[in-house]
Structure 1
Amino acid sequence: MQLTVNSLAASLALLAPSAHALLRFSCSQLVVERLDPLVFPGVTGSPHVHQIIGGNAFNASMEYPRLDIPSEATCTTCTFAEDLSNYWTAVLYFRARNGTFKRVPQMANSGFEGAKGGMTVYYTPSYNNGKVTAFKPGFRMIVGDPTYRTEAQAKKFRQLTYTCLENILTRTGETLDMPKKPCKAGIMANIRFPTCWDGKNLDSADHSSHVAYPASGTFESGGACPSTHPVKIPQLFYEVIWDTRAFNNPNDWPTDGSQPFVWSFGDPTGYGNHGDYMFGWKGDALQKAMDSNCNINCPQLKTQSISQGNQCTKQVTVNEDIDGWLKELPGGMPVTDANGKVLY
């Protein structure tokens, strides 16, 4: 999609959430493999495949303070060069009628056409100009649960959704489950994290109890944080666009009319949508950006071009085929239903 300078500015304004200020930037793909230093620290070959963006310090063991991300990373795939954080999600697969799986590629968001897959990342400081506290060194969190397979379970997390894209600018019609029809311009997974912190713990046993949603209302409506988690933190938000266009032929879809896409963790429903985050900004760069109420662009931060971000790479640790037509999901991950029954 070719955009002029004026149309690019207009599209960015359209895509940005309705807020007084926010950071919106591209992070190209760093690596795709079965590593998960949050849930399975030290394990080479976690249960399912992830796609990771951000700093090249990413590895199987990232315990803090043994590993300080900003000190260890030498480059980042993100356009804000001081952001050496790591962000990751599961990977989407297409299941053909013959039972084989094919990894769905990612595509860049509007305005970031030069990016190598990856994600669009947002940090929104506030919807009512209130003070927010940037994440601290060693901070990490997860939102969502890969074991969930029902709508009731998915509703425990706010705003983990999908958008069936009619075009690259579509931002309406979000659903909790995977779209049930072919999407002309791909499927966008929307991952929004909680916005309140207990002010003490950089992590928790489940990697989510140290953060919470507002006690009433929403982040967007300026809802107050609960007394247990009184510190307002930025709303972290991922947009990940899966290029499903090559799989839109109805003749390739299941004969029973169901949708054919499956997450790498064996979820055919979409309700297990989740995302992981490890903070790794240099110094006080993120706090400075939040205090400055930067609006998409941020003169207070150092930037690099998307092409420079594309050059930041990491060698794959788990050597396996994740891109061919596979007889099973990588790691032998089974596809399961709401009752834990193995479907295939």
Structure 2
Amino acid sequence: MMLPNTASGLATLVAVLAIANPAHALLRFGCAQLVVQRLDPLVNPGEIPSAHLHQIIGGNSFNETMTPVEHDLPSLSTCTTCQFSEDFSNYWTAVLFFRARNGTYKRVPQVPNLGFEGTRGGMTVYYMQDALFDYGQASKVTAFKPGFRMLVGDASFRSRQQTQKFRQLTYTCLQERSTRSPETLGFPTKPCPAGIMANIRFPTCWDGVNLDSPTHQAHVSYPAEGTFESGGACPDTHPVRIPQLMYETVWDTSGFNDPELWPPANSSEGQPFVWSMGDRTGYATHGDYMFGWKGDALQRAMDDPCYVNCPTLKTQTIEEQNKCSVPDIVQEDIDGWLTELPGIANSKMTMPMHE
């Protein structure tokens, strides 16, 4: 997605496209932080705590189990941290840390994307019908069904070759907050003036039957040929086109840009950032999703000609989003300077591999 590289240019683009006459819908909205804790009801259901730390957004029925038969997110949630108040889905990713030269760790703060100032951390979420970040969203897509869930990425990956199994799990080194290119598969290797944006894009084809699978990945697929961006057709095994779900998380790394804080130039340690599962390459980035839109709200939005802000959906203020939260049931220290990552011993740290 190519956006103008100035804040005013981005605002102008959004304003112009918002009054255009799109064929169908592209949703782009902010979600505040719900909680940061070691829970993962998709990969480690019932475990307290889970293996590594996550940052979670969405409906406040989020907990450690969330079995699809018993846990209906829209009916069990009483609030959501997302702009569209009919979206009680849960979205989560790993958490980014800075590793100092003395081996201690500090959690990197999250900041809202442009246009969502005032949001408490969190992420920006997209539901797209076509790859273009404009009003040309002409394709028909089938919204996710109740109980649908999926995972993209692999927390164990540590090489560039491995990560190419997934398309476009990338990073943007922000020269300013509106920067959108270039994108890299691994962590940026130089300080980024305005932070690091982590971009998570999910597969866009579904088998049309299974709401989940043992790997949380086999029931979805990438296009058979080409890519979502090039309009590639879905494979026969996964014939149903679903929206392109995308997360953008802005990690404010600017407070760690002093060269004296980074590993020495001749060091094998490379850059100083590390995911909460112990990955210093960036290749282990991943995203989890549990669908929880109320009724047919998402399908209506995908069928209606709305762009970014959708008048067919109910919205709430940023102040209301920020009020929604859940208790931290793990209750461990994740702030300040830590001697090790929560749940991850120093001995398990992985050295970086460069682009």
TM-score, structure 2 length as denominator? 0.90
**Superposition pairs for residues 11-160 of structure 1, below 5 Å?**
12=14, 21-127=25-131, 129-160=138-169
Secondary structure at 2:320 match in 1: helix
Aligned-residue offset at 1:14 = 9.8
Question: Partner of 1:187 in structure 2?
Answer: 196
Letter in 1 for 2:302: M
Aligned-residue offset at 1:12 = 3.6
Aligned-residue offset at 1:324 = 1.6
Q: C-alpha distance in 1, partners of 2:8/2:193?
A: 25
CA offsets 1:230-260 (integer angstroms, 9 cap, x no match): 0000000000000001100000111217100
Off by >4 Å, runs of 4+ in structure 1:
5-8, 13-16
Secondary structure at 2:74 match in 1: helix
* Residue from 315, 327, 338 that aligns with 1:326: 338
Q: Are 1:336 and 2:350 an aligned pair?
A: yes
Secondary structure at 2:165 match in 1: coil
Q: Which runs of 5+ in 1 are unaligned?
A: 340-344
Residues 14 and 194 from structure 1, CA distance in 2 versus in 1: closer, same or farther, beyond 3 angstroms?
Answer: farther
Letter in 1 for 2:247: Y
Contact 2:24–2:302 (CA under 8 A) maintained in structure 1: no
Question: Partner of 1:165 in structure 2?
Answer: 174
Letter in 2 for 1:46: S
Q: C-alpha distance in 2, partners of 1:295/1:180?
A: 35
Residues 14 and 233 from structure 1, CA distance in 2 versus in 1: closer, same or farther, beyond 3 angstroms?
Answer: same
Q: Which runs of 5+ in 2 are unaligned?
A: 1-6, 132-136
Aligned-residue offset at 1:332 = 2.8
Q: Which moved more, 1:272-281 or 1:250-259?
A: 250-259
Contact 2:107–2:336 (CA under 8 A) maintained in structure 1: yes
Secondary structure at 2:46 match in 1: coil
Please give the root-mean-square deviation of Cα atoms over the aligned residues, in Å. 2.1
**Superposition pairs for residues 261-280 of structure 1, below 5 Å?**
261-280=273-292
Letter in 2 for 1:10: T
Question: Partner of 2:134 in structure 1?
Answer: none
Question: Partner of 2:12 in structure 1?
Answer: 10
Q: C-alpha distance in 2, partners of 1:272/1:237?
A: 17
Q: C-alpha distance in 1, partners of 2:36/2:8?
A: 34
Aligned-residue offset at 1:111 = 0.3
CA offsets 1:289-331 (integer angstroms, 9 cap, x no match): 0011321010000000111100101110101101121111001
Secondary structure at 1:330 match in 2: coil
Contact 1:21–1:126 (CA under 8 A) maintained in structure 2: no
Contact 2:105–2:337 (CA under 8 A) maintained in structure 1: yes
CA offsets 1:67-116 (integer angstroms, 9 cap, x no match): 10101000000000000000000000000000000000001100001110
Secondary structure at 2:338 match in 1: coil
Residues 314 and 25 from structure 1, CA distance in 2 versus in 1: closer, same or farther, beyond 3 angstroms?
Answer: same
Question: Partner of 1:342 in structure 2?
Answer: none
Q: Are 1:240 and 2:249 an aligned pair?
A: yes
Letter in 2 for 1:97: R
* Residue from 297, 301, 314 that aligns with 2:326: 314
Q: Which moved more, 1:256-265 or 1:165-174?
A: 256-265
Q: Percent identity?
A: 66
Letter in 2 for 1:28: A
Contact 1:19–1:124 (CA under 8 A) maintained in structure 2: no
Residues 96 and 52 from structure 1, CA distance in 2 versus in 1: closer, same or farther, beyond 3 angstroms?
Answer: same
Residues 9 and 252 from structure 1, CA distance in 2 versus in 1: closer, same or farther, beyond 3 angstroms?
Answer: closer
Q: C-alpha distance in 1, partners of 2:229/2:15?
A: 17
